[in-house]
Structure 1
């Protein structure tokens, strides 16, 4: 019930406004992990959340049953991912083409209520990875009041971004095309 009231509050607050802006920060207790598999094992690359210490401007307005965002982008430096070892970190940086594209950009475009689950919203976002941008709609769980917890999983195919899965041990170990980005971001107004 508390979540429903929170959503009603947000939509009501935005109902009488044009483009509004706030700044938010992502707290250090947040997590962002990229998970993948090879034909032999699995791996995960954890983002160093402490690097997200600057306020993020968020501009939004309500349009019918949606909240539309303008210039609301989360920028992740590829070098701030740790996959657990020097060799796999190097492979991960090569996979992402970090020399020419050192950042991942996640641009939030809009959110709308999920019609099937009142605890979720659907987020439309653009993900820019290795210089290629793709749009995704993902279900996101929101909870909290003073600190908003934003949780979800984005599954994607790395070939959609013109990325070639790395091969090791003379091609015997191959990274699978599908990876998932798991996030639990704890956000508060700055």
Structure 2
């Protein structure tokens, strides 16, 4: 635990340095973390909750400091589509079909950069590469980093499923349609392994 606090503190202290520092380590995502995909239809809402215990820990992390940025290399979170639970079997099947799970069983999230914009702020800009259904798109989102017992990384990513060549499904002869904008809401508790 003490080692983890020292590691996290060092990252925060080095976030404004101009020296080049290459670091590799590995992290664990704690089971109390949450990752939820939220969507809407024209008649209802749905939440698909990821089973965090299925994440393959530890996750290797490689980064170097460049001015006020942490630049990551080969730092990737792999999410198995089948580990999402949307509340019932029919919605789970529809969600798996939506993600084209038979041909693309995983979602890949690569962390590319993390930039702290203000010395007193816990908000960072994260540059991510997201691959869903075999298609890749870059995103820049705000994430909040807090240090308690573990490092807490919180954020919301809004995305359009059409960007991944996924057509919003229609059910019951087109009466029910899924909104093309979905929200990925995450609160990851991270500790160094």
Q: Is the 8 A contact 1:124 1:137 kept in 2?
A: yes
Q: Does 1:177 align with 2:180?
A: yes
| Paired position in structure 2 for 1:72 | 75
| Paired position in structure 1 for 2:169 | 166
Q: Is the 8 A contact 1:37 1:43 kept in 2?
A: yes
TM-score, normalization by structure 2: 0.90
| Paired position in structure 1 for 2:138 | 135
| Paired position in structure 2 for 1:112 | 115
Map Cα deviations across residues 147-179 of structure 1 (whole Å, 9 max, x no partner): 100000000000010001111111100000100
| Paired position in structure 2 for 1:101 | 104
Q: Is the 8 A contact 2:19 2:66 kept in 1?
A: no
Distance apart, 1:118 and its partner CA: 1.6
User: What SS does structure 2 have at the residue aligned with 1:152?
Assistant: strand
Q: Does 1:24 align with 2:5?
A: no
Q: Is the 8 A contact 1:56 1:74 kept in 2?
A: yes
Distance apart, 1:52 and its partner CA: 1.4
Candidates 11, 29, 44, aligned match of 2:15 = 11
Distance across 1 between alignment mates of 2:99 and 2:119: 35
Q: Does 1:83 align with 2:60?
A: no
Map Cα deviations across residues 67-93 of structure 1 (whole Å, 9 max, x no partner): 100000000000000000000000000
User: What SS does structure 2 have at the residue aligned with 1:92?
Assistant: helix
Worse-matched range after superposition: 92-101 or 47-56: 47-56
Q: Does 1:52 align with 2:62?
A: no
Distance across 1 between alignment mates of 2:139 and 2:120: 19
TM-score, normalization by structure 1: 0.91
Distance apart, 1:141 and its partner CA: 0.2
Map Cα deviations across residues 113-138 of structure 1 (whole Å, 9 max, x no partner): 13598220000000000001000000
Q: Is the 8 A contact 2:37 2:182 kept in 1?
A: yes
Aligned residue pairs: how many? 185
Distance across 1 between alignment mates of 2:187 and 2:12: 23
